Structure 1
């Protein structure tokens, strides 16, 4: 610890101890499923424009650059959504923010389905991005506050198994069916993409209804001084049902458990002296990891078409490659409980870098494209899933939503910028240029990950015990 910093008083571990004793309850299982359902549709929506790129270009008469701008609008909307969602989560609660995000992106998706021109599509995807932005980051922050310490890493990683793993794999299978064999029944290539947007948005609206049953996290409620509500939430999470108790339980939490000294609930506090190094390290790692993932998922179908494959073949091949995403997310969930965050990110980053180099040099046939593409997605998903586990652990409750959203938002910016560079490199150097860029990004990811603290096996209170000195809080008083 920096000797110039004044340590905050030791934070209460009552919430952690209670959740640790309870283990993984049935109520927590349903919390996991409800959060995961929204993230699954999030992934389908995020991959949709890349999968339907050729259809959109033909239907709306747009160029590759304009199509890339549609992706950029979604990503920039995601940045706005992450900042807004993080602020809402820290100010008004994780549950409210999560429902707001899902509702916004569902409505934006329906507008995309009826887009009359390029400009309308562009605006609708920006709205979709706002909803997508906070969905994942607030979900992982929320779950990390609601489960036992030793299960935290694996359970948060499971969210990426369902969204980034199963979601990425099934999304291209779904798009292959809707835009291939089922396209004639949906009105042909000119209308199939519209029905695809409808089919992605409509089910997500149902998840909004079910999310009303989610309890607020006890840690957030304690940070606001709401002890009775925190006890009620803790009682739900340690039970076998999401049904609230008939009366307010006496519970283990008292006013002594309210954090005495906290960072202010403000996005600016993410750059306070006590957490600045964490933000820089994980933010840089997120830029490299998320930028690489978006580049691969968004451009791969288009790159394959330009290499001479048909639309159906490109979607099928991308789906096969994304089997690596599913396996990588599962591997990350297993690693989360067995090795440290830095080891998982560093190891997968090195192997991802080597695989990208191999793709750039050797991927000149269909079998090699499929095998190396799947391997790259495997290592990509290990790094992204582990960063998803790591980021909410690095911030205290008062700014956990904003901190998680901002460092992931930095990756969002990369997702907007890097595909443009990848398109330029592809035009000049073909596949070697794109995957050479990805290799460099993974090398920088490994370097950045070395500067973030290890968090495996520690409670959220232990990790953040000394990150709120008086100089950062302004007014160190109870709420």
Structure 2
């Protein structure tokens, strides 16, 4: 039995939950540093006299960094390892977030937000690739959605920091708190192993064999003494052209459109949400409280998606959640009482973040080990283009007449379009091993 087959037969156990926790906390800190800017913007706009367009540029600066970080880190992770990139990007975005608290003008904040985004964009595809390559095939979808659920915890942490810290200590303190996750890198080095698939792919067979032996022993399985390689495949350096080859062109097209649409909608909505609520008559503190409740609704969204993704499959779960989010965004945009805004906003958050969990499950499954981080990184990078555009587009739209309603009508159309693309072009991967999905 070869090394990869041995790894895939290992039943769900303590190791998998431990890896989920280690990568999940990194994911949570990533989300916290992403979310802090959304809560800082309303206060910062008043303190610095920023226009709506300038607020949009601040949101977009981080997304430009994320796009570049996703491409470069994805490529580097396929060459030098998943764990190394996970640790390095964690340190980078944490320190850069602390520097945002020291920003002295609009331009310096843009530069620091770019660095934050570069680190954040680099970590996400690397973390999900690592978790994908260790998860048992029949539980892979659930585990990746649960990993993504830590994003909700990170936004919840950002909302709590905003609610408890900003009114009393100012926006600078929120950014300085966001630098603390850099200390978590020591736990990453202690608790996160390198990917077995990556080690095999790079010819580091004895390291991979030793890791699998440890997993077999912990699971109570008979330890296989001899390191047997999987069927040999031609080893070539990963290249951009690979993800557009005949075998992957349909998958890549679907993923790029999916990522563009969901990132455009997410960052357009949630980066602006506290500011949009202030524009609807909420006080800054009241808007923070409302977004805090909406953020709490993300968690059951993740758990619902985690249950459905391995029951009814990736395609139906993803398209269903995108459609639900689109409808809720439409009704949210109609305005109304505080209660109705809170209800539709919470449901919008529930469906949107549940969809995100499936996206992170689905993407790395569709590429083989050799180009998995590269393909995932490029899909995320194309998505960041949508994220770059969205905050700026909303910044201009909100200044026009009926801006609030038009903004959410736009997001409704985008998400319905993406749901249709998934149904038409998507390939179901539920219950299949990574080798089965990518054979040939």
**Normalized against structure 2, the TM-score is what?**
0.94
Per the alignment, residue 353 of structure 1 pairs with 326
Does the aligned pair in 2 maintain the 1:34–1:207 contact within 8 Å?
no
What displacement does 1:323 show? 2.1
| Residue 436 (structure 2) pairs with residue 462 (structure 1) | yes
Residue 216 (structure 1) aligned to one of 194, 197, 200: 194
The match for 1:167 is 154
Confirm or deny: 8 A CA contact 2:3 2:228 kept in the other structure.
no
Aligned residues: 434
Quote how far apart the aligned CAs of 1:15 are: 4.7
Q: Is the 8 A contact 2:368 2:438 kept in 1?
A: yes
Deviation of the 1:407 alpha carbon: 0.8
Residues 258-314 of structure 1 show CA distances to partners (whole Å, capped at 9, x for unaligned) of 641356323442222321211110111111112111111111100111122111001
Aligned to 2:209: 231
Q: Report what 2:172 is aligned to.
A: 194
How far apart, in 1, do the equivalents of 2:3 and 2:351 lie? 34
* Runs of 5+ unmatched residues, structure 2: none
Indicate if the aligned counterparts of 2:32 and 2:178 stay in contact, CA closer than 8 A.
yes
**Alignment match, 1:432:** 405
| CA deviation vs aligned residue, 1:129-150 (integer Å, no higher than 9, x gap) | 1100021211111101012101
Aligned runs of 1:42-441 on 2, under 5 Å? 42-163=30-151, 165-180=152-167, 183=168, 186=169, 192-202=170-180, 204-213=181-190, 214-238=192-216, 240=218, 251=225, 253-255=227-229, 257=230, 259-261=232-234, 264-361=237-334, 363-428=335-400, 429-441=402-414
Do the aligned residues in 2 keep the contact of 1:340 with 1:454 (CA within 8 Å)?
yes
Structure 1 residues 415 and 237, CA gap change in structure 2 (3 angstroms) = farther
* Range moving further from structure 2, 373-382 or 56-65: 56-65
Question: Offset at 1:155?
Answer: 0.8
The residue matched to 1:427 in structure 2 has which SS? coil
Change in CA separation of 1:444 and 1:265 when aligned onto 2, cut-off 3 Å: same
Secondary structure of the residue aligned to 1:264 is: coil
How far did 1:388 drift? Answer: 0.7
Distance 1:352 1:227, change over 3 A: same
Q: In 2, Cα distance between the equivalents of 1:33 and 1:314?
A: 31
1:9 — aligned with what? none
Deviates more, 1:21-30 or 1:336-345: 21-30
Instruction: Give the C-alpha shift of residue 250 in structure 1.
Output: 6.0
Q: Are the counterparts in 2 of residues 231 and 253 from structure 1 also a CA contact under 8 Å? A: yes
Alpha-carbon spacing, 1:430–1:269, altered in 2? closer, same or farther (3 Å): same
Query: Are the counterparts in 2 of residues 76 and 126 from structure 1 also a CA contact under 8 Å?
Result: yes
Q: Distance in 2 between matches of 1:372 and 1:24?
A: 37
Determine if the alignment matches structure 1 residue 35 to structure 2 residue 23: yes
> Contact 1:426–1:432 (CA<8 Å) still a contact in 2?
no
Deviates more, 1:269-278 or 1:363-372: 269-278
Helix, strand or coil at the partner of 2:246:
coil
The answer on whether the counterparts of 2:259 and 2:382 sit within 8 Å (CA) in structure 1 is yes
Compared CA separation, residues 90 and 418, structure 1 to 2 (3 A):
same
Secondary structure of 1:374's partner? helix
Q: Work out the CA distance in 2 between the residues paired with 1:330 and 1:61.
A: 41
Change (3 A) 1:251 1:198: farther
Q: Which residue of 2 aligns with 1:445?
A: 418
SS of alignment partner, residue 129 of structure 1: helix
**Would the alpha carbon gap of residues 59 and 237 (structure 1) be closer, same or farther in structure 2, given more than 3 Å must change?**
farther
RMSD across aligned C-alpha pairs, in angstroms? Answer: 1.8
Distance across 2 between alignment mates of 1:146 and 1:397: 12
